[in-house]
A = this chain, B = another copy of it.
Amino acid sequence: MKHRTPLREALMTFRRTPLLSGLSVASIGFSLFTIGLFGLVAINFQKALQDLAERVEVVAFVLRGTPTETISTASQDITAFPEVLDVSYVTEEQALGRARRELVEFREAYRDLAVNPLPASFEIRLKPEARDAESAQRVAERVRGFPFVEDVRYGRDWVERLDKLRNMAAVVGLVIGLAFAAVAIVIIGVTIRITVLQRAKEISIMRLVGATNRYIRGPFLLEGAIKGISGGLLAIAMCWATFTIFRTSTTAAGDALVFFGGLQMLLFLVFGTVIGLGGSVLSVGRQLRAV
């Protein structure tokens, strides 16, 4: 006969009632899967927003005939701004070439020009944390201060809209994410409560034979933690499967999609474990008081 330890006792439960244990793990797993799915959508949406934000750019048009030395000093000055990631100078010729390449509709119009109507410009990319309307405006103002700068553009409308979209996405994500998490917690709690109810008779017998509450609780808590962590693993596996299927089925945008990182997955497991443990504490506690 082997000695009774909480861990052995907890593991035995899975062998003694495989169906019930399996169902609990499935239920926990699928609840966490819900959160996982939502999380995947959220992080991919966030990434899409970041990709968009990379295009936040301040363009400063330079007066015709500004000397090259002024340009290169200014370029260094601008690069030193705290918000600025890098600066590239586009000459008049480069601008015309680009216009011919990119603006098909204007190709005809520009073909026979004697004089290049396009100005040279600085294209200023911002640091990731400075890609919002406020920073862009600040940079624009400062650049406008250079005497050789004719005009500054940074697509104010567009940047402001991006800002709004970001805030909106954050609020929606938070609210819906919390709602999903609440749903998962309730379902997991319910599942654990049901399995404890299932064993109410065993618990009451243990009490009648003289076991302390702590002694009874041990294996249940471990069991809850094991179920939680198993459910978490199951959920990650299902998320991965869904992700893979989805990515291969939508060839176009699929490659751009991202999965959770290691830390996020770990957090997921911890979340599952804590819920499994917490659910057990609460529901065993209730049962112990009831008997």
Interface residues of A (CB under 8 A from B): 19-20, 23-24, 26-27, 30-31, 33-34, 37, 41, 168, 171-172, 175-176, 179-180, 183, 186-187, 190-191, 193-195, 197-198, 242, 245-246, 249-250, 253
In the bound assembly, the distance between CA atoms of A186 and B187 in angstroms comes to 12
Chain B residues near A172: list those with CB within 8 A: 41
> A197: which B residues are within 8 A, CB to CB?
19-20, 198
A193 in complex: contacting residue of B23, B41, B180, CB < 8 Å: B23
Pair A168/B253 contact, Cβ less than 8 Å: yes
* CB within 8 Å for A180 and B37 given contacts A19-B197, A253-B168: yes
Across the two chains, which residue of chain B brings its CB closest to A27? Answer: B190
Q: Which residues of B contact A26 (CB under 8 A)?
A: 186, 190
Question: Contacts A198-B194, A198-B197, A250-B171 given: A187-B27 contact, CB under 8 Å?
Answer: yes
Q: Is the CB of A34 within 8 A of B180?
A: yes
Give complex CA distance A101, B224 in Å. 66
Secondary structure at the A interface, as helix, strand, loop or mixed, is helix
Task: Kindly provide the distance from the CB of A121 to the nearest chain B CB, expressed in whole angstroms.
Answer: 17
Q: Is there an interface contact between B19 and A175, defined as CB atoms closer than 8 Å?
A: no
In Å, the complex CA distance between A168 and B194 comes to 41
| Contacts A27-B191, A191-B27, A198-B194; A179 near B37 (Cβ below 8 A) | yes
* CB<8 Å pairs between A and B, sample of 8: A27-B191, A31-B187, A33-B183, A41-B176, A175-B246, A175-B249, A191-B191, A194-B195
The smallest beta-carbon distance between A80 and chain B, in angstroms, is: 30
The docked-state distance in angstroms from the alpha carbon of A27 to that of B191 is 8
Chain B residues with CB under 8 Å of A23's CB are 190, 193-194
Q: Contacts A37-B176, A176-B41 hold; do A183 and B20 have CB atoms under 8 A apart? A: no
The smallest beta-carbon distance between A287 and chain B, in angstroms, is 11
For the complex, what is the distance from the CA of A23 to the CA of B168, rounded to whole Å?
35
**Which 7 pairs between the two chains have the least Cβ-Cβ distance?**
A27-B190, A30-B183, A23-B190, A30-B186, A194-B194, A34-B183, A34-B34
Q: How far is the CB of A117 from chain B (nearest CB, A)?
A: 16
Residue of A26, A179, A183, A253 contacting most chain B CB atoms (<10 Å): A183
